Amino acid sequence: MICPFVVLSLLVFGVAAAPLAPSQSSSLSIPIQKHVNVTGGHNLVNAGHSRARSFRDRTVSKHISSTKRQEVPVVNEAITYIAEIAVGADNQTFHLLVDTGSSNTWVGANASYTYVPSSSSVWTDDIVIVDYGSGYFFGYEYYDTVTLSNDLVIKNQSIGVADFQQGFTSMDGVLGIGPVDLTDGTILGSLAPVTTVPTVSDNLFNQGVISTEVIGVSFVPTTGAANEPDGELIFGAVEGSSRYTGQITYTPRETDYWGIAQSISYGDTEIMSIAIGVVDTGTTLNYMPTDTFNAYINTTGGIYDEVTGLYEITEEQYNALDDLIFTIGGTDFPLTPNAQIWPRDLNENIGGEAGKIYLAAVATEPVENLNFINGYVFLERYFSIFDNSNSRVGFAVTPYTNATTN
């Protein structure tokens, strides 16, 4: 499959493990606001497992039947970030989940606030359908103007308009910022067989709005406070952003997703040799291979909690925690003890007790090219860069890397 962007292979492999120092540059960005939709620990864990199965199914077969898609009800349980965008000549506003694990952009999840075509809308009569594991939608495809900000306006962007959706609450749809490969097979109709449809970042680049097809994602740790700082999506050049400090380490993108190769250590002990997995803003917890997770739990002393579905540790065990270290592109990215636990102010959201300490990691069955998922728990501590122009993913330290908010 040929993507509409040019893959600079020599550049990717030449700088894969070489950190780049930031320099001053202009960037275009939009704020993203945190939304907590967690009604139980088991719901949260199961939503992540469902999403992992969706990734796994695509990795193995790249096809999920619509029958399977409707087998069981799903609830989109997660800590997510929402971007406000405008669609059409009338600037109709929608609040969309920011998702690196998918690439279609669509609206219509909120039945009381539906898309109204304007003078800029083009109806294609084609059906769009996307499965997220933790939810799905199908509807019709339009082309329309999408306004992310005054400086980030996209003409003729593919927009799905949901006729039916399941698993999405408190949001109007999804802003897909994954690789364009993930749109393969999502469009059915007169354009079939369509290979891919340009994503928002593809079109921003192709229409000359940004000079390089790069998206930077900045999260902040969850505290439950009403005045938490906003996150940020940066389109185009990210070097010099105040959202990170020090250097960026890049590593080649693996698989159709934003996949990376990494190893994991707990303290001085390697518990996962280098393997390929996914970086995903749509998954809240960190998912590790079963053997890796068992080694981690056995060392930390965590005990399974039937109520929350997570593993609980004592205050003494928390004080004895070592760093959980993700080695990516030759650079160590440690999660401090505070970064390894569920935010204690949100214990009630998972059915837990105030003051108790729960580890924010879960086991998953590994398959080829999907051995782990680095979810929001990891991404809230590191600035992440998704570089389509060079087919690579980058990470850098932020002012929140060592925060003790949990």
86, 147 in Cβ contact below 8 A? yes
Read off φ and ψ for residue 204, nearest 5 degrees. Answer: -60, -40
Helix then strand count (H, E) for the chain reads 7, 24
Q: Catalytic pick from 99, 144, 172, 202?
A: 99
**Average confidence (pLDDT) per 10 residues, the chain, 406 residues:** 33 35 55 81 85 78 40 52 94 94 93 90 92 86 96 96 87 94 85 76 96 94 73 92 95 95 98 96 93 98 96 98 98 98 92 96 91 94 97 97 93
- What DSSP element (H or E) covers 57? helix 41-60
Which pLDDT value is given to residue 226? 66
Pick left, alpha or beta for residue 173 (phi over 0 → left; psi -120 to 50 → alpha; otherwise beta). left
Total residue count of the chain as it appears in this document: 406
- Give the type of residue at 338: N
Query: Is 99 known to be catalytic?
Result: yes
232, 399 in Cβ contact below 8 A? no
β pairing state of 382-387 and 392-397: antiparallel
Q: Which domains does the chain have, with CATH numbers?
A: 26-216 (2.40.70.10), 244-397 (2.40.70.10)
β pairing state of 286-289 and 303-304: unpaired
376, 79 in Cβ contact below 8 A? yes
The pTM assigned to this predicted structure is 0.88
| Helix-, strand-, coil-residue percentages of the chain, each rounded to 5 | 20, 40, 45
Three-state DSSP at 60 gives helix
β pairing state of 269-279 and 373-374: parallel
Read off φ and ψ for residue 45, nearest 5 degrees. Answer: -60, -45
Three-state DSSP at 269 gives strand
Whole-angstrom CA distances from 103 to 55, 182, 241, 266, 298 are 13, 6, 25, 33, 38
Nearest to 405 by CA among 170, 219, 218: 219
Q: Catalytic pick from 126, 131, 280, 305?
A: 280
Q: Please give the Cα distance from 176 to 265 (Å, whole number).
A: 31
Which pLDDT value is given to residue 51? 84
Distance from the Cα of residue 405 to its chain's centroid: 22
Query: Is 256 known to be catalytic?
Result: no
User: Running DSSP on this structure, what letter comes out for residue 254?
Assistant: B
Which pLDDT value is given to residue 27? 59
Q: Which two tokens stand for residue 323?
A: 């760093």
Which pLDDT value is given to residue 194? 62
Q: Which two tokens stand for residue 151?
A: 């400086």
Which pLDDT value is given to residue 163? 93
SS (H, E, C) 327-378: EECCEEEEECHHHHECCHHHHHHHCCCCCCEEECEEEECCECCECCEECHHH
Q: Please give the Cα distance from 162 to 107 (Å, whole number).
A: 6
